[in-house]
Amino acid sequence: MTILVFGKTGQVATELATLPGTLCLGRDIANLNDPAACAAAIIANAPVAVINAAAYTAVDRAEGDEASALTINGTAPGVMAQTCAQLGIPLVQISTDYVFNGSGDTPWHPDAPTAPLGAYGRTKLAGEQAVQAEEGTYAILRTSWVVSAYSANFVKTMLRLGGAHDTLDIVADQIGGPTGAREIAAACHNIATQLVDQPIKTGIYHFAGAPDCSWAGFARAIISKAGLACTVRDIPSSAYLTPAVRPLNSRLDCTNLYTTFGIPRPDWKDTLTHILTELGHLNDRA
């Protein structure tokens, strides 16, 4: 019994490849720029479920390349969902906190109104809507601040910069939950397995590490656990301008994921320990 995964080299897909019964497809076989190829791959492999762990994730680049991002993040998931609905199998679609506008300080509930601030969020929301429109069995799993020992991410960036500088200026007014790719992969696998026998669990869910913190607070934890002699200074988002506006409030209410699937929020401090251990950067005395 195979769970087909779109994605092979990304953070979550790399972790999914280690789980039982998964078959991960890379761009050479199923490029999301060609949604029809994704549909053909699902049919050819006859899986019991599909997890889409592939996406256009270059948030800033998407501002000038929204058409490509829309094909990958919006059109392709819709075609996957259509094919899965025709075959009667579930689809797990990974989405993002960027579908919200980041206002306030209350954790976003899955039913909260969406209002993305930029191209990346708009295209990911389009993917959510396309999946829902097919009316098959699905779980849309919104997550945030993904980190791992693989690919480029905030932990690896802080290790590199923290080892080369005495001080780092890090944004302190964006709040969210750092989430390990390993934990996201396990959650997706668990959800897909449950949906096979319990399609009634179809819906939108949130999954993020706990407790919520700022990027600056997370950076301090990374620097401290790695034993680096670097000071983190808090700055506002207005002092670190980027092509795409980041949501200030990325807190996610993950209650319904726990009550429906029995999956709790992971402690990102444990996640960080695992990542630093894998990278050989854990300072046991820190």
φ, ψ dihedrals at 282, nearest 5°: -75, 125
Q: Reply yes or no on whether the pLDDT at 285 is more than 80.
A: no
> Token pair for residue 124?
């990911």
Q: What is the pLDDT of residue 195?
A: 98
Of the residues 56, 120, 138, 205, which is catalytic? 120
Mean pLDDT of 8-22: 96
Each residue's pLDDT tens digit, 150-187:
989 999 999 999 999 999 999 999 999 999 999 999 99
Rounded to whole angstroms, how far apart are CA atoms 134 and 173? 38
pLDDT band at 282 (very low <50, low <70, confident <90, very high): confident
Architecture of domain 3-148+178-209+245-267: 3-Layer(aba) Sandwich (3.40)
Closest Cα partner for 19 from 41, 49, 64, 44? 49
Q: Annotated catalytic, 56?
A: no
Return the sign of the alpha-carbon dihedral for residues 60, 236, 270, 143.
negative
**Which residues, including other chains, have CB under 8 Å from residue 251's CB and lie 6 or more apart?**
105, 106, 107, 108, 175, 176, 177, 208, 212
Rounded to whole angstroms, how far apart are CA atoms 277 and 92? 30
Q: Where are the domains of the chain?
A: 3-148+178-209+245-267
Q: What is the pLDDT of residue 284?
A: 62
Q: What is the pTM of this model?
A: 0.96
Mean pLDDT of 118-142: 98
Q: What is the pLDDT of residue 40?
A: 96
